[in-house]
Amino acid sequence: MNTRKLTLNGLIAAATLVVLYIGVMTKSKLSFLALASFGLSIPVLVSGIGMAALTIVAVDILSFLLIPNINYTIAFLPISFYPVVKSFAEGKKLHWVIKYGYFNLSMILIYLFAKTTLAEGIFISNNTVLAIVFLASQVVFYLYDYVFTQVVYYIVKRVRIGM
């Protein structure tokens, strides 16, 4: 492991934690979750999937220790690993199946975790509304993936990646 790459991964981890901390204090929490995940694409580009996964695990552990909102941190967990999943899936024939499979599995796990740990009354009990929320989240995920791809293209084109 190159020292420059390791240092860059550490700086990205610190910047990600700052973005998450700012996101906790704003009304635009989902935007800051997405922004934090965009930054985590840099370790994937610079160091590869293995070192990026270690950086993401470090960010996730530190976020549990430093971010005051545990629900926000739990919501960040699947988003934080999306750069690794996207990097793995891109170029494969069934890349959309892999990405949507990861997204939907993450949504189900977070929903089940939240349903068992939080108050029962805050969850959607109407199946029609639940289906609409599910379909809307699929569209939002498609848009997120598109923007994520554009951010990665910008990073590769504008920033010197080959260290």
Longest pairwise C-alpha distance within the chain: 53
Q: Residue 5's pLDDT is what?
A: 87
Residue-by-residue pLDDT tens, the chain, 163 positions: 588 888 999 999 999 999 999 999 999 888 999 999 999 999 999 888 999 999 999 999 999 999 998 889 988 999 999 999 999 998 889 999 999 999 999 998 887 887 777 665 556 667 787 788 889 999 999 999 999 999 999 888 887 655 4
In whole angstroms, what is the distance from residue 104 CA to residue 126 CA?
19
In whole angstroms, what is the distance from residue 71 CA to residue 139 CA?
23
Residue numbers of the domain that contains 11: 3-158
Number of independent structural domains in the chain? 1
Q: Looking at the domain assignment, is residue 127 inside a domain?
A: yes
Tell which residue, 71, 91, 85, 93, has the closest CA to residue 141: 85
Q: Looking at the domain assignment, is residue 163 inside a domain?
A: no
Q: Residue 26's pLDDT is what?
A: 92
Burial class of residue 46 (count of CB atoms within 10 Å of its CB; 0-12, 13-18, 19+): buried
